[in-house]
Chain A
Amino acid sequence: DADVTQTPRNRITKTGKRIMLECSQTKGHDRMYWYRQDPGLGLRLIYYSFDVKDINKGEISDGYSVSRQAQAKFSLSLESAIPNQTALYFCATSDGVTGPDTEAFFGQGTRLTVV
């Protein structure tokens, strides 16, 4: 089983619909992140959470919200999906205990299409 699991893997939704992307991890890490990847733009940070009570906006948080339900679960919601939110979304985790800048572990991604 993957250490970082994202569901669903693929989703097509209509403009205006609310959609939730879920992420769960078995790494035992406190830190979790949501990124989106767009062609030519690389990976951009949407939200991040350093522990269950800590939620922070990333560089492109408008139109998104998150919920950290437990240490292992971090979900991303699109309140009212729009076509330019069509992208590949990645969840990631990292261990902020062994060092400040250790590697992140990524899920396999969710391909979201808004029509």
Chain B
Amino acid sequence: DQQVKQNSPSLSVQEGRISILNCDYTNSMFDYFLWYKKYPAEGPTFLISISSIKDKNEDGRFTVFLNKSAKHLSLHIVPSQPGDSAVYFCAASMGGYQKVTFGTGTKLQVIP
């Protein structure tokens, strides 16, 4: 039972354009969401997060949007750069436990 789903295994975007990575979840008890980026041969690194009390959080080129009614979140990268090419994992947790559930990942390729 996959509680956090990333239905697009891969995404290709031209440099300078917007990348939109999507994530859906099924557990309404999740109240904190995170995005991690993973390069080959490295561990995942934290990118950005959002609490369920917000619907948007922005950090430089990265913005995460949360739609609680649809149980959907998305990560926008604007403008996309070749260095953004990586696997992006969506993750969710229930506050206080920090037992984070990860999605299956989306491989982003930014084409120069």
Interface residues of A (CB under 8 A from B): 4, 31, 35, 40-45, 48, 56, 58, 90, 92, 94, 96, 100-109
Q: Are A40 and B95 in contact (CB under 8 A)?
A: no
Given A43-B102, A101-B93, A101-B95, A108:B41 Cβ within 8 A: yes
Q: Whole-angstrom distance between the alpha carbons of A38 and B99 in the complex?
A: 19
Q: Which residue of B lies closest to A95 (CB)?
A: B98
Residues of A within 8 A of B105 (CB): 42
Q: Is the interface of A mostly helix, strand, loop or mixed?
A: strand
Q: Which residue of A lies closest to B34 (CB)?
A: A103
Given A40-B9, A40-B104, A41-B104, A104:B99 Cβ within 8 A: no
Asked if B45 is an interface residue, CB under 8 A from chain A, the answer is yes
Q: Are B104 and A90 in contact (CB under 8 A)?
A: no
Given A100-B95, A101-B93, A42:B45 Cβ within 8 A: no
Q: Whole-angstrom distance between the alpha carbons of A106 and B42 in the complex?
A: 9
Given A43-B44, A43-B89, A100:B104 Cβ within 8 A: no
Asked if B43 is an interface residue, CB under 8 A from chain A, the answer is yes
Given A108-B42, A108-B43, A101:B99 Cβ within 8 A: no
Residues of A within 8 A of B4 (CB): 42
Question: Of B32, B34, B97, B103, which one neighbours A42 at CB under 8 angstroms?
Answer: B103
Q: Are B43 and A106 in contact (CB under 8 A)?
A: yes
Subset of 9 A-B contacts with CB under 8 Å: A35-B102, A41-B104, A42-B89, A42-B102, A101-B95, A103-B49, A104-B98, A107-B43, A109-B42
Q: Whole-angstrom distance between the alpha carbons of A42 and B46 in the complex?
A: 15
Q: Are A42 and B104 in contact (CB under 8 A)?
A: yes
Q: Whole-angstrom distance between the alpha carbons of A108 and B45 in the complex?
A: 10
Residues of B within 8 A of A43 (CB): 44, 89, 91, 102
Q: Are A104 and B46 in contact (CB under 8 A)?
A: yes
Asked if B111 is an interface residue, CB under 8 A from chain A, the answer is no
Nearest chain B CB to A24's CB is how many angstroms away?
A: 14
